[in-house]
Amino acid sequence: MEGRGGKYPMGIYKEKEIIRAYSGFPRLGIRDLLFGDIINWTPGRTVWWPAANWAEAAAQRGIIAFQRWKYPNSPWIYSTHSIIHLMDGVCWNVTAPRADYLKLEEGKLDRDKVYIVCRYRDFRVTTAVDRQVVYSGIELLQGTAYDATQLMAILIQEYLGFPEEDYLHVLDPRRKTVCSPAVRGLWVKLWLEKGGKESRFRRPGGDLHVERTPPALMENHKSFQIVGILSGGLI
């Protein structure tokens, strides 16, 4: 049977829990987004066929299980992908197969997903100089292949209790990246340009090594704030 997700659609994983977790936030439009907003989204609906979707679904469930373990007292653990907003709905992300741009448009969002808008609390990206810092970081990563092995490296190092500021590339030898480390890394780059620890601003996302960033970090760390969810999604 064919549905919105294609042939043999799965249900929306943890749909009731997702609705309960995020329904209390204000609804935002694309025009409400600021430069640098990080937008997380929930898994949505996958399909049983082709079989390649099984791996995607398993990875999404693994991310959620890990975030439940890392943030045991938080309901905001259901996002599995992170993108960064630039201007007028144009965003950038690291996804399979490679890092690239995408555009969010009113009325064209996936109605099976929740789009959670996270905003850094300490300053806004308002000058051409600051924007160029972000664009230069994107230029370095543009076209980078998505590194599924990094997901496993993150899990192993967290479960083994590695110090937050450490990340061992021996478990991730290709040194590529995935979505949430890439977009948080752009904010950390901007923070460093503003003086880093010598500035009055908090390190975006805290001391956790950038390469170990899960999507839910931006929803749960005190240096970020969930300002709303985009209208037109699941809720």
pLDDT tens per residue, range 183-230:
999 999 999 999 999 999 999 999 998 888 999 999 999 999 999 999
Provide the pLDDT for residue 170.
46
pTM for the whole thing?
A: 0.85
DSSP bridge partners of 2: 7
Q: Is the pLDDT of residue 112 over 90?
A: yes
- The β-bridge relationship of strands 90-93 and 100-103 is antiparallel
| CATH, domain range 2-230 | 3.90.1720.10
The pLDDT > 70 percentage for the chain reads 77
Residues 82 and 221: beta-carbon distance below 8 Å: no
Residues 4 and 109: beta-carbon distance below 8 Å: no
Provide the pLDDT for residue 173.
44
Provide the pLDDT for residue 146.
52
Provide the pLDDT for residue 104.
98
Q: If you average pLDDT over every residue of the chain, what do you get?
A: 85
Lowest mean pLDDT among 111-125, 132-146, 157-171: 157-171
Confidence band for 164, pLDDT divided at 50, 70 and 90: low
Phi-psi region of 6 (alpha: psi -120 to 50; beta: other; left: phi over 0): left
Provide the pLDDT for residue 234.
97
Q: Is the pLDDT of residue 15 over 50?
A: yes
| HSE-CB for 28 with a 13 A CA cutoff | 22
Provide the pLDDT for residue 145.
55
Domain locations in the chain as residue ranges = 2-230
pLDDT tens per residue, range 27-77:
999 999 999 999 999 999 876 667 667 777 888 888 899 899 999 999 999
Query: Average pLDDT in the 144-160 region?
Result: 54
